[in-house]
Each structure stands twice: as structure tokens, then as C-alpha cells.
Amino acid sequence: MIKRTLVFVGPFLAPSALINAAPAESFESNVITIADLPLTQRCYAYVPEVVLAPDIDPNTTEVEVLSDSTSSEANTFVYKGNVKVTQGLKELKSDTLTYNSDTQKAQALGNIHFTDGQVSITGAQIDADLSNDTATSYDSRYQFHGKGGRGKSDELEVLDKEHYNLYQASYTSCPPGDKTWEVRAKQFEIDNEEELATAKHATFWIQDVPVFYFPYFSYPIGSNRKSGFLIPSVSSSSDNGITYEQPIYWNIAPNQDATFTIKTMAQRGVHGLAEYRYLLPNNNGQFNAEFLDNDKKTDEDRYLMHWNHNTNVGGHFRFNTNYTKVSDDNYFNDLGSTVGSRTDNQLLQTASTAWLEKNWNAEIEVRDFQVLGGSAPHVVMPKVAFNGYYPTNWNHIEANIFAEITKFDHKDDNVYVGTRYHLQPKLLLPLYSQAAFLNTELSYLLTHYQQTIPDMMKESWYRDLDEDVTRSLPSFSMHGGFNFERETEFLGESYTQTLIPQVKYLYVPYRDQSNIGLYDSSPLQLDYYGLFRDQRYSGIDRIADANQVTVGVSTSYLDDDFTDRFRFAIGQMFYLEQSRTSLPSDTIINDDNTSALVAQTDFNFNDNWFFHGGIEVDTSSREFSRGNTTLERRWAWNKLVQLNYRYIKAPEDNKNNYVKGVVNQIGTKAAWPFNDQWSAIASYYYDADNKRSFETLAGIKYEDCCWAVSLVYDRHMKTSYGQIGDINNNYDLSSSIKFQIELKGLAGFGSSASSSLSQGLFSYGRPFANK
């Protein structure tokens, strides 16, 4: 073979603009057909790897030519036999190559093969003008590296580095020999600078049958978004009938976009949805508006409004708003929305502005809720709050202060309203070492209420309220513990075990607070970490008196990578004096000397078995009052079975009469691939107390190299706003079926079956997933 180095330098061909034209395609002669390969490897066996070009200037890089023979006449060079031209990563092979140094034009003929590490082209002929980086390839096939798409064209015209045209061309992501689907067009125009492809007189084919004709359509070929029609979806449900959704996307600017959706429901009418998103300097947010004119089932107009906005200037000034409002209680139940779920029953409507410094921050907030199926809470109009953090240089003591002025209003004139003034200074002495810790806190809570009591009272306990109330309470706590650690073995594996016993003493004197309204206070749920809280209620309208000791111990097993493999914690509160603070709605007066015994445990065995469990035991009656457990066996990231159980004992009043509201639920979720093409998902939840199902979901999916199809069935209990525990009157089921077709590398249709595992009343969550 004769080696020649051309006297010219510069790019001999620049079709690297094809990189984003479509998902890649290789040549049938390069196909690796190994039936036993996994689907991903089998589908991409024919696809070359991406090779990134070094950062060099092609105008200063020599072009090297190898051939069996060479000849020249004047300024024309002719290379014949196994011609190979290289420049950096670019490589062109052909039977013959002719180059004129005066015109800088080259022509390659016969068995053309070109690659630049990102795209490969075969063809019968390539004509290139090296002076302006243009080229034309005839009877070509193209394949992009690292992607599963390919195509061919009668003529491929490179206009410059970023633009080219394909005439009488095709595109598909199916492997060679697979004609499941293909797009054929009279012309493709590719603009890599704008990352946009345009097809003219295009036909969509399935096998060898034309299905759709598009006179003109364009689509994005990179990360940039493109305005236009998105893929529609079709579903059918017992509530809405056959539903067709057609989304339209508007790429307003690189930092702004909008989506408009026309949703036609056979049993309800036409539902219009709009979403606007923006990302501005120091600001970002989203606005949603939805409207259904005269619902056929309810004869009412139905709507949704949502605005979520965040401002952050210099890390000091912040402004946030989150506002959601719907026309009626059953909006999410009947129509669904990306803004909320069908289990939502409180929609936040708030706006706040804050200023943050190193040792203090201040905030102004207004807050309201739309409660679905319930009575409205008090409106915060507004709240002004201040937090200060002041470490001292004397014996590790820290000083904190919290101050708040909040005006509470209400939409019902028969409900009390008021203004709350609160001041809470605090001294802290945190002492830490590797072996132990001891935290001491002393605080003083001073609160004043100015209340307006209505003449017509909705509740009898309103009569105990006073117009002016001042409450002062000191609070003292000491919380200490030890950190033990040792090396140990279990089942032949080495672990580091930690053991942390801890004790907390809390003292808060009793104050009669029945003359104070409830504005933002409610009971807090008890768990192991909640045992060590200073308060039993959220908010500050009720500060529970306490003279108690909390004892707890926790242990963990960490592997060599310091990953938790096992945790266990157990604790209980011991009352030196019974707390006399309660809420008007409390039906039980606790006269025990101890709280419930709380325990929880987690384990992660070899990243295959995952478990979480938590229980509360009433030690006086020796009965379980609350419990939850989740066990998951995972074979791979997409192959798992999970079992769930949740129990809450029905509370009793002081006359041992049970109050409705028991929870006794069993559930399971599973994702199971039968092979690399067929897979299934399932979810089932059952009410063992009432012997009824809450949710049944099942789906199956078939996936090939270039297409996938799935079918998902969903039957669930609709959210009800009736009496708690009255399941006979509240039990209403809704059923739906969704069909999805996905053409890989082109478009999807509907929602994926795999994502359905997290849909519904009970979303998927892996227990103790700390990796």
C-alpha cells in the first residue's frame, strides 16, 4: 500500500453536523445477532460507540491518504484501491478518490464508508468541496453512534457544519431487518445549530403499510424544546368515559414555556388545561389554569388555579407563594390534575417574604387553606416573625429568641378570631464529645391573645374563651446520652455496632388554657424521635404541662462502607405528674403513668431484603395501638415484591365505647419482568376490618428494540368526605384502563407502565433505602 500525505490542510469533509439528525444507525453488515444477549445489548449490538474528537483546529491538521496506487496530472490527484483518508478522528474509505488542489474539490467513488466518531455514512459516491465544507453523498445510509436510530437517503447534502438536507430519505430506531416502523419523507432539513429537524411530505409506515401522512412537521433533535403538537393520549374510565387528550407545546423562550391541553371526555365535556413555566434571574415559578365548562354530570362549571413562585436575591431576600384553588371538593377525584392528587384534602394558599442574615431572620406571611370536604381553618392575615441566634463566648452558652405577631381571621362569622403576640427567649448549653452529649435548655414562653368572641357560637366550648388572655410559662429540659461503639460479626460479616442510650427530663408547669382559642394547634403523632420533643401539640395555642422523663435506646449496624444495615430503637415516656392540658375534641383523658411504648426497626440485607417496622404498645392494657410494617424483596432494580401492613386501633372514650376510625390495611406492590421483553406490575390494598379493597392495579408491558406496548387496569376507592368510619356509605369505586404505545426514538403514547407502580392511592416507597 502506498502512503501519501497531502500538501493541503483543512477539513476534508464535515458531516459532523449529522450528529443530532436522528438516533444512530449502523450498517447491516455490522450487525451482531446474538439471541442470548439481554435486550439492551441485543438492540444496540449494531450501534458503534461514540468517540469524542480532540480539541484541535481542522484547518491546521494534515489529511493523510493511503491507497494501493496513486497518479497525478497537473493539480489533480487520483488514488485507487483501498483508499483510506484520515484527519484526526475522521476517516473516509472508498475504492477511488480524486482530488484537485486548485479547486479543493474531491470525489470518492465505490464502497464509501465515512465516520468521525459520532456518525457513520455508507454510500456509492461522495462529492466534497473542501473550500467551504460542503459535500453531497448519494445512495447513502447513515448511523449515529451511541443511539439506536438509522436511515437512508438517495441524496445527503451537507450545506455547512450545522445544516444539511436529506432527499427521499427515511428514519427509524429499529435494528436492521426490523421494519416495525419507519418515517419516510421527500425531504428532511436538519439544523443542528437550532437543534431542529423538519420533514416535508412525510409518511409514517408500520411494516410495509403506510399509516399516516404529514405534509409538514418538525421536531427537536437535541436538548432544545420545540413548539408544536405533542403526542396525544387515550384512556377510558367509569367516571369520564373515553377520554382524548391533545397537548400543544409553546417554546416561548429558552427560559419560558407553556403547554395547552384539550381534554375531551365523553361523559363530562371539553376540559381545557394550561401550564406556564418560567425561570428568570432570581425567580422561578409555574402557573396552571384549568376549566371545564358545564360538566355534563354535575351541570356546573369546574376550574382549578395554581401559582407557585420563588424569589431568592443574594441569599438574603426571599419571596415565596404557593396558591391552589379548585371549584369543588371532588375536582381531583373526578378530573385529576398534575397539580394535586385525588387524596389531597387541604390546598395551601400562602405567600411569604423573608430576610436572612447569619444570626437572625425575619418573615412576613399570609396563609390560608382550602379544605376539601371539611370546615375551613383560621386564616393568617398576616404573621410577622423574628428568629435570633446568638452564640456567646462564655462556657458554650447560646442565646436564642423567637418573636411573633399573628392576626387570625375566619370566613365564618360564627367562629372566634384574634391576634396573638408571642415572645420566647431561650438559653442553651450544648455539650458534645465523641462519647457523650448533654443539652440543657431553659426558655420562657410569654403569649398574649386579643380575641373576638361571636354572639352565635358554633361550639359550646367557645363560652370558655376570654377576650384578653396572657399566658406565661417557663420550660426546662435536659437531654443526655452516650455513644458506644464496637466491632462485631454477624453471619460471618464484620460490622461496626453503635449503641446510644439517652434520657431526657422535661418540666413545664400547668396553666389553664381553656380560655384560648385553637388557631393552629393539633396533636403531633408519636414516634421514637417524637418522644424527645418538648411539645405535644403543634403551634403554641396549647403548651402541654409536663413533668416527665423519656428513656430511649437505639442501635445500628454499619458495614465496612459505613452503610447502615440494621437499626433498632425503643423508648417510652414516664410521667412524674399527669398532664392536665387537653384539646376540646379530646375524648380520652390519659390517666396512665407512662406513654405508649414506641419501637421501630429497619434492616437492609445485602441490598436484596429491605424492612421497616414501627409499633406503639399501650403498656397498661398490653394492646397494640398503632403499627406499620413494610417488607420488600428486590432481585434487580426493576424486579421486586413488597408487602405492607398498617394498623391503628379504634380509640375509646372514657366509657370504653369505641369511636369509629380503625385502620387495618394490607397491601402489596410488585414489579416483575418475565424476561427482557415481557414485564408486569401490580398493586393491591385491602381493608381487613371492613373486608373491602381500596385499590387494585395491574399492568403488563411488552418491549422490543424499537417499540413497546402496555396495558394498565386501575380500580380504586374514590376519596369520600362523609363520616369517618362510615365505609358503607362512603365506599365508591372508580375504574379505568390505559393503553400505551411507545415508538422508541420517535414518540410515546400515554403513560408508561413502569411509572404506574407509584400511581394511585398508595405510592411506592422503598423501605430503608440508604444507598
- Tell me the torsion sign for CA atoms 324, 327, 329, 333: negative
pLDDT single digits (tens) 36-73: 567 777 777 778 887 776 666 655 667 788 999 988 88
Cα–Cα dist 214/113, whole Å: 32
**Predicted local confidence at residue 35, as pLDDT:** 52
Spatial separation of the C-alpha atoms in residues 119 and 146, rounded to whole Å: 9
Distance CA 364, CA 407 (A): 11
Q: Which secondary structure element, helix H or strand E, spans residue 332, and what is its range?
A: helix 331-335
Mean pLDDT, residues 163-183: 87
Cα(677)–Cα(688) distance, rounded to whole angstroms? Answer: 36
Q: Given phi > 0 = left and psi -120 to 50 = alpha, else beta, which region is 482? A: beta
Indicate whether this model's pTM tops 0.85.
no
Q: In this structure, what C-alpha cell is assigned to residue 610?
A: 429491605
Cell readout for 163 is 445544516
Q: Which amino acid is at 81?
A: G
Q: What is the mean pLDDT of residues 765-771?
A: 70
The two beta strands, 283-292 and 678-687, are unpaired
Using pLDDT thresholds of 50, 70 and 90, give the confidence band for residue 510.
Answer: very high
Q: What's the mean pLDDT in 458-482?
A: 95
pLDDT score recorded for residue 211: 87
Cell numbers standing for residue 366: 399570609
Q: Nearest Cα to 531, choosing from 496, 504, 568, 558?
A: 504
Q: Which three cell numbers stand for residue 558?
A: 454499619
Cell 394490607 sits on residue: 666
Helix (H, G, I), strand (E, B) or coil at 210: strand
Q: How far apart are CA 436 and CA 613, in angstroms?
A: 28
Q: Cα separation of 209 and 187, whole Å?
A: 20
Task: Give the tens place of pLDDT for each residue, 324-358.
Answer: 999 999 898 889 888 887 777 789 999 999 999 99
Q: Do the Cβ atoms of 252 and 275 come closer than 8 Å?
A: no
Q: Is 149 helix (H, G, I), strand (E, B) or coil?
A: coil
Please tell me the predicted confidence (pLDDT) of residue 51. Answer: 78
Q: Compute the distance between CA of residue 523 and CA of residue 650 in angstroms, rounded to an integer.
A: 16
Contacts of 486 (CB under 8 A, 6+ apart): 496, 497, 499
Q: What is the mean pLDDT of the chain?
A: 85
**pLDDT level of residue 32 (50, 70, 90 thresholds):** very low
Asked if residue 228 lies in contact with residue 248, where contact means CB atoms within 8 angstroms, the answer is yes
Residue 653: Cβ within 10 Å count = 12
